[in-house]
């Protein structure tokens, strides 16, 4: 892979926003720096903090954990689609007339959750019908630059469930402020966390995939 690398990951710190009730990010030193010792730290955080991938286990107690997600889904040709300003579920009607995915991974850039801010009361999300449409067009991963593919008031997480029902992996909390629409190579690999329903990722785009 060659080309410009653009980091689309939100940094993690004690200031990173989390959902109410989720574990915020914290770091403490369990072994300090010393003349004869290497420093060691301990992390605590929700796996849904910042930029992260959801596994089927997030919704289904019998679903696969994040360690079982196929890595091939998380790496490869991806299309960034700009849909600025929407603070509600995005529908197929919001897309350009005649649009269909040009890659099996689609990332929606909405600008409705600026970096380093709290989780807003309203932000762009996805409609369940849009997830169904994307699946029918061969999409295997959908990403968005907001805290969730579901709107904050959604009961039952219908967009999450639609993605899961159609085998689409969910990538949330992206930072796409510096990314124009187009085709790129996406890398967004989760940690191999057995038994976990989600994982933070270091997500980045490489040049144009052609």
pLDDT tens-digit readout, 31-81: 999 878 899 999 999 999 999 999 999 999 999 999 999 999 999 999 999
Report the domain count for the chain. 1
Domain of residue 131, CATH code: 3.50.30.50
Q: Whose structure tokens read 């969730």?
A: 148
pTM for the structure as a whole: 0.95
Which pLDDT belongs to residue 2? 66
Report how far apart, in Å, the C-alpha atoms of 148 and of each of 34, 72, 169, 185 are. 42, 23, 13, 22
- Domain limits at 102? 5-10+47-206
Instruction: Classify strands 89-90 and 125-126 as parallel, antiparallel or unpaired.
Output: parallel
As a whole number of angstroms, the distance between CA 175 and CA 16 comes to: 13
- Residue 103 in domain: yes
The reply to whether 48 belongs to the active site is no
Structure tokens at 116: 């380093």
- Residue 67 in domain: yes
Catalytic residue among 33, 48, 52, 58: 58
- Residue 26 in domain: no
- Residue 198 in domain: yes
pLDDT tens-digit readout, 74-106: 999 999 999 998 899 999 999 999 999 999 999
- Residue 21 in domain: no
């Amino acid at each position: 892979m060659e080309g410009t690398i653009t980091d689309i990951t939100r940094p993690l710190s004690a200031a990173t926003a989390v959902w109410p009730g989720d574990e915020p990010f914290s770091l403490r030193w369990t072994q300090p720096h010393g003349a004869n010792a290497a420093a060691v730290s301990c992390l605590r955080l929700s796996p849904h903090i910042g930029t992260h991938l959801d596994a089927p286990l997030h919704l289904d107690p019998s679903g696969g954990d994040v360690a079982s997600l196929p890595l091939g889904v998380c790496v490869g040709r991806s299309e960034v689609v700009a849909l600025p300003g929407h603070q509600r579920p995005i529908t197929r009607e919001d897309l350009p007339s005649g649009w269909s995915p040009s890659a099996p991974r689609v990332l929606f850039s909405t600008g409705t959750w600026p970096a380093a801010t709290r989780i807003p009361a309203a932000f762009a999300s996805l409609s369940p019908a849009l997830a169904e449409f994307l699946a029918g067009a061969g999409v295997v991963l959908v990403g968005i630059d907001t805290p969730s593919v579901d709107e904050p008031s959604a009961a039952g997480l219908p967009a999450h469930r639609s993605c899961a029902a159609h085998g689409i992996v969910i990538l949330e909390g992206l930072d796409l402020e510096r990314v124009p629409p187009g085709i790129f190579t996406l890398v967004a690999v989760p940690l191999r966390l057995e038994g976990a329903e989600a994982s933070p990722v270091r997500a980045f785009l490489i040049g144009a995939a052609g």
